[in-house]
């Protein structure tokens, strides 16, 4: 698992199979926890400061701050690869 910037937050899905990370590199990513393989990447125009999974694990949310305004997103990530926020 790797980001170009510092990791600012992480969250495990309820089943423990996936982990989401937030980073100063402007991305949030979902990883398969055991293999460490990236399964989704969301690109933002700001530093991503937080990530969280929904209780059922189907969605994850991101939050951050850029250009003096907050930025947030929520994503149905399963089966997806890259999203632009």
pTM: 0.79
What per-residue confidence (pLDDT) applies to 82? Answer: 45
Instruction: Please choose, from the candidates 39, 47, 38, 35, the residue with its C-alpha nearest in 3D space to the C-alpha of residue 72.
Output: 47
Q: Domain 7-84: give its CATH code.
A: 2.40.10
Q: Tens digit of pLDDT per residue, the chain (85 long)?
A: 677 778 899 999 999 999 999 998 888 899 999 999 999 888 888 888 899 998 888 888 888 876 555 566 766 656 454 444 4
What per-residue confidence (pLDDT) applies to 59? Answer: 86
Annotate 11-59 with DSSP letters as a single string: EE-TTSSEEEEEETTSEEEEEETTTTEEEEEEE-SSEEEEEEE-TTSSE
């Amino acid at each position: 698992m790797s980001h170009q910037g510092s990791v600012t937050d992480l969250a495990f899905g309820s089943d423990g199979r996936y982990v989401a990370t937030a980073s100063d590199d402007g991305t949030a990513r979902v990883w398969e926890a055991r293999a460490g393989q990236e399964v989704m990447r969301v690109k933002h125009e700001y530093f991503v400061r937080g990530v969280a999974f929904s209780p059922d694990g189907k969605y994850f949310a991101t939050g951050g701050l850029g250009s003096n305004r907050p930025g947030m997103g929520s994503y149905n990530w399963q089966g997806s690869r890259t999203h632009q926020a």
